[in-house]
Amino acid sequence: MPKNDLPPSYDCSQLSGYDRDYCHIDRFEACALEAACPRASGPCTPAAQLRAIGLAHCIEVVHNTDPSYNVPCAEGLGFDTAALSACAAVTDPHAAGGAPAIMTYIYGHANSSGVTGFPDLRINGAVQRNYWPDSVRELEDGLCKGYSGPAPAVCSARA
């Protein structure tokens, strides 16, 4: 594999400031996603997906990407925070239960399937410009513009 095709190392110690903080959040969220939706278990249930999305929303939106809220947000959603913290602390990229291995898997899967962010919002196969809709109106507008056939009632107000 050519060197430029290798996934990132996910080594937060190489970063500073906001990038380091976000790296720690990403590692924690990757471990939470694996806990909620284990790769070996097949398709993830909607309830499990909502837990993972809820964690990302709590840390990144409610608490403005402050990694000190990783554990409190996870506790509020019923995650095993000791297990997530241990997973996120793993530095060996080959350790099966650690964040680097999980993130490498996510990286490879996302690149092979065209996923551009999380959540990856697509309407009629088109990735929407804002992957984390900042308002219900934005999401409704995207759905209504992309609708074919009889549209939901909410779309009639947009005409």
Task: Summarize pLDDT for 125-150 with one digit per residue, the tens.
Answer: 777 666 555 666 777 777 788 778 88
Integer Cα distance of 20 and 158 in angstroms:
42
pLDDT at 5: 42
pLDDT at 82: 97
Are 23 and 65 spatial neighbours (Cβ–Cβ below 8 Å)?
Answer: no
- Tokens for 77, please give them: 């959603």
Query: Which of 4-8, 28-32, 76-80, 87-91 has the weakest average pLDDT?
Result: 4-8
CA 139 to chain CA centroid, Å, is 18
> Given a cut of 50, is residue 156 above it in pLDDT?
yes
